[in-house]
């Protein structure tokens, strides 16, 4: 009897929790259903929410009008279910959490300060009229990277503002940093207590993390002389588009970036009048109608705004890409021709190469004890907090396996236990590419193979010893670029017929501005302050492309976002500075389009691509209608009431994309038609050249395209024929290219071939 009573009590408790526990939901409305009696959509959203759920007015967190048709609200499960039954509502979705994809790059890309290529008449650069909106952790406005010396008045089209806050206000903005806003309601609901409870973090656009300041200054930072991270990478720091304007939208907080806040930031950025959106964050792959970033990006692109997003840092594992919608520029990461060498010298007199950004006192010339705590019970090999015994590591160099906790935290654990140095050794999961960090103690990061040799020495030698040596900054490294091991890889798991990533850009050891509210490692115990930091990630490569897009928009104001994307993709290069094919840092093997997309961006050539693949909103709709989505799901993305999907592609790969992803499956022949637009001189003639594996026949008709006028469009059809059927998983993917060329231009499209979806 007692057990029965307990059961009913627990059932009642769960039911009460279900009814009372509130979460943030994103609600999509049928935009056209707004009654005329409501002056604004906000009024309609508020009224609908109260009438359908009996919710108080403060339950309405955001009312969206540009990036999405609907609102975000704080609801319990029962209220969400009630809303979903309404005829005026297309869908109700629980809020999603996204994560951050956390001076030499302008020269590496060929954007020298005195280069007149990007300038317009009179010495004034047209990029002064281009505004880059950065969705991130906010901005540190005092940074010299946002100095507005010599900048003209703010463009009259700008409708944004510098929001006031406890530690922020209009006085912190200028003619360079022209806007700053913060969006925290989704975050505040997620941490509990509702939007009226004082949050742990101050609600303002000020950057307490550093990530947002770094990405914003990478995209469009002003020239800053004598910039460095504690002496490393010393020189001039500058963004890609030094004369473009910056608007910061803080959507990321301590616990992550919430979809409702991201959507609010995108919604506001569109209304404010940005030309480029830079988004260095992402989540797990999802259908486009459930992907907050994809939804907001579609609305932005439809209004002529270029959207650049990071591909993710989950490499070298395959099929790990984020932000794969075809209207988004998906950016992977590569290296620069700059390195920060450091060395682990062992007692057996063998010196192993590694990297480091350690800037304190060195270890001297004396060898000290070396220890590797491979104990499965304590996880000392990972150097987790509390895992090291001071009696074992005091005065020694400790080998720490990479993984589980932050790289820089491991060094702090070693230091706190009395260790004097650390060798951070990659494992199979992190492969061969070590990452340079500004460690709290002398530390060297090494790749997996080197790490295995050092681990073996430490475990086999009765008295292992080592010392660490630091080599400063080295330039003109060869080969470069190399695709970063952490850069997320294809294939595209949402729509495999679209090849992703699109391109790679500089994303390893990037020097840019930093928040002075936090040390270079981001650790609480790191009390160092620096105006610049060196960070790696596709978060860093994304704003490079955002800045380049701003330059292209300035040079070609009439180009659509897809035209800019096409120019960057079809002119990208796939050979490094030794004239060899691009390599993958994960294992040193040759890279491929699932790793580097079309290749590494080349802004000089992108300025004059010759031909472009343009895509209209109607074509994107035909693409969406070719997916297994309902009409309502398509409407969720395109926000139009009259969608019928009467016109749809037979295959999503028919989209006029600058690359090809060919899925044979049960078919032997896949045929696509593409359309090219002449953006070069009149009377241009292009001939086609194809390259592919022996297992696939490629034919193009016609083989010559003659463009008599600028802006003229011509179509071609390419047929891919599988010469024999692949069995099992012996060969799952191969690659090729299609190039339209003449003496002035080479318009190249990568091609991937798959016989199975994975």
pLDDT value for 370: 97
Give dist(CA 222, CA 144) in Å, integer. 7
Tokens found for residue 79: 């209220």
Q: Which two tokens stand for residue 213?
A: 């300041």
In this structure, are residues 318 and 290 in contact, taking their beta carbons and an 8 Å threshold? no
**Torsion sign over Cα 115, 117, 119, 120:** positive
- How far apart CA 9 and CA 26 sit, in angstroms, is 32
- Residue 211 bears catalytic tag: yes
Spatial CA neighbour of 338 closest among 232, 446, 444, 216: 232
Neighbours of 161 (CB within 10 A): 15
Strand 70-76 with 22-29, pairing? antiparallel
Per residue in 442-479, pLDDT tens?
Answer: 999 999 999 999 999 999 999 999 999 999 999 999 99
95, 129, 136, 509: the active-site residue: 136
Tokens of 547: 């800045």
**What is the per-residue pLDDT for 378?**
66
Nearest to 569 by CA among 593, 546, 597, 544: 597
Q: Cβ neighbours of residue 365 under 8 Å, at least 6 residues apart?
A: 467
CA distance 692 to 295: 35
Sheet containing 306-310: order of strands: 177-182, 245-250, 131-136, 276-279, 306-310, 329-334, 503-506
Task: Convert the pLDDT of each residue in 725-734 to its tens digit.
Answer: 655 544 478 9
pLDDT, position 458: 96
Q: Whole-angstrom Cα distance, residue 285 to residue 483?
A: 22
Look up 539 and say whether it is catalytic: yes
Six token digits for residue 641:
């009431």
Q: Which two tokens stand for residue 14?
A: 């769960």
Cα–Cα dist 407/351, whole Å: 22
Q: Which of 211, 214, 439, 600 is catalytic?
A: 211
pLDDT of res. 106? 58
Task: Sort 231 into a burial class: Cβ within 10 Å, 0-12 / 13-18 / 19+.
Answer: exposed
Question: Which of 95, 200, 178 has its CA nearest to residue 134?
Answer: 178
- For position 63, what pLDDT does the model report? 93
Q: What pLDDT, in 10s, does the model give residues 236-276?
A: 899 999 999 999 999 999 989 999 999 999 999 999 999 99
- Residue labelled with tokens 């020269």: 107
Q: Which residues pair with 112 in a beta bridge?
A: none
Residue spans of the chain under pLDDT 70: 1-20, 103-126, 193-199, 375-378, 725-731, 757-758
pLDDT recorded at residue 238: 94
- Specify the length of the chain in residues: 758
Do β-strands 177-182 and 224-229 pair in parallel, antiparallel, or remain unpaired? unpaired
- Cβ 544 vs Cβ 601: under 8 Å: yes
For helices 77-84 and 2-20, what crossing angle results, to 10°? 60
pTM over 0.95, yes/no: no
């Amino acid at each position: 009897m007692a057990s029965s009573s307990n059961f009913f009590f627990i059932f009642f408790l769960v039911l009460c929790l279900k009814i009372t526990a509130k979460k943030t939901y994103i609600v999509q409305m049928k935009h056209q259903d707004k009654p005329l009696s409501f002056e604004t959509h906000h009024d309609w959203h508020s009224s609908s929410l109260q009438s359908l759920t009996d919710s108080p007015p403060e339950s309405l967190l955001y009312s969206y009008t540009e990036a999405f048709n609907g609102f975000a609200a704080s609801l319990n499960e029962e209220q969400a279910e009630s809303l979903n039954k309404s005829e005026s509502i297309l869908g109700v979705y629980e809020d999603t959490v996204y994560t951050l994809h956390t001076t030499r790059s302008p020269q590496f890309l060929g954007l020298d300060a005195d280069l007149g290529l990007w300038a317009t008449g009179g010495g004034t650069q047209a990029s002064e009229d281009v505004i880059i909106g950065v969705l991130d952790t906010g901005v540190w406005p005092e940074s010299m990277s946002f100095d507005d010396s010599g900048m003209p008045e703010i463009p009259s089209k700008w409708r944004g503002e510098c929001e006031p806050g406890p530690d922020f206000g209009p006085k912190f903005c200028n003619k360079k940093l022209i806007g700053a806003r913060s969006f925290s309601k989704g975050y505040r609901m997620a941490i509990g207590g509702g939007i009226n409870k004082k949050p742990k973090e101050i609600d303002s656009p000020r950057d307490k993390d550093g990530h947002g300041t770094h990405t914003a200054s990478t995209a469009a930072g002003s020239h800053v002389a004598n910039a460095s991270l504690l002496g490393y990478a010393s020189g001039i720091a500058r963004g890609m588009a030094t004369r473009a304007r910056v608007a910061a939208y803080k959507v990321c907080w301590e616990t992550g970036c919430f979809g409702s806040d991201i959507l609010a930031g995108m919604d506001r950025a569109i209304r404010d009048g940005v030309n480029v959106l830079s988004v260095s964050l992402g989540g797990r792959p999802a259908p486009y109608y459930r992907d907050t970033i994809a939804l907001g990006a579609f609305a932005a692109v439809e209004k002529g705004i270029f959207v650049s997003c990071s591909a993710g840092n989950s490499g070298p594992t395959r099929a790990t890409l984020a932000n794969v919608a075809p209207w988004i520029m998906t950016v992977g990461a590569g290296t620069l021709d700059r390195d920060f060498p450091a060395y682990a010298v062992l007692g057996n007199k063998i010196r192993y190469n590694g990297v480091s950004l350690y800037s304190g006192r060195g270890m001297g010339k004396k060898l000290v004890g070396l220890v590797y705590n491979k104990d499965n019970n304590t996880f000392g090999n990972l150097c987790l907090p509390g895992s090291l015994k001071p009696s074992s590591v005091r005065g020694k160099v400790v080998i720490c396996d990479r993984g589980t906790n932050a790289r820089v935290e491991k060094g702090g654990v070693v230091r706190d236990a009395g260790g004097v140095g650390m060798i951070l050794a990659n494992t199979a999961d992190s492969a061969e590419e070590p990452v340079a960090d500004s460690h709290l103690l002398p530390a060297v990061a090494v790749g997996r193979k080197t790490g295995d040799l050092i681990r073996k020495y430490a475990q086999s030698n009765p008295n292992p010893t080592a010392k660490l040596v630091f080599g400063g900054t080295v330039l003109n490294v060869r080969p470069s670029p190399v695709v970063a091991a952490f850069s997320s890889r294809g294939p595209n798991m949402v729509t495999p017929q679209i090849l992703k990533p699109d391109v790679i850009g500089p994303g390893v050891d990037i020097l840019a501005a930093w928040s002075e509210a936090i040390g270079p490692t981001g650790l609480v115990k790191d009390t160092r302050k620096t105006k610049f930091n060196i960070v790696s990630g596709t978060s860093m490569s994304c704003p490079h492309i955002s800045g380049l897009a701003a330059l292209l928009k300035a040079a070609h104001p009439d180009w659509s976002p897809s035209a800019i994307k096409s120019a960057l993709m079809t002119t990208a290069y796939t050979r490094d500075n030794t004239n060899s094919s691009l390599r993958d840092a994960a294992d040193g093997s040759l890279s491929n389009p699932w790793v580097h997309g079309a290749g590494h961006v080349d802004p000089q050539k992108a300025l004059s691509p010759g031909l472009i693949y343009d895509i209209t909103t109607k074509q994107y709709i035909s693409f969406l209608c070719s997916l297994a989505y309902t009409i309502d799901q398509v409407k969720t993305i395109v926000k139009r009431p009259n969608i019928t999907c009467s016109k749809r592609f037979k295959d999503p790969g028919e989209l006029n994309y600058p690359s090809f992803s060919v899925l044979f499956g049960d078919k032997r022949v896949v045929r696509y038609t593409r359309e090219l637009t002449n953006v070069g001189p009149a009377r241009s003639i292009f001939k086609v050249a194809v390259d592919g594996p022996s297992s696939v026949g490629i034919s193009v008709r016609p083989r010559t395209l003659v463009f008599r006028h600028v802006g003229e469009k011509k179509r071609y059809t390419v047929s891919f024929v599988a010469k024999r059927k692949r069995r099992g998983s012996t060969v799952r993917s191969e690659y090729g290219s299609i190039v339209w060329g003449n003496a002035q231009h080479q318009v190249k499209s990568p091609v991937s071939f798959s016989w199975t979806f994975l």
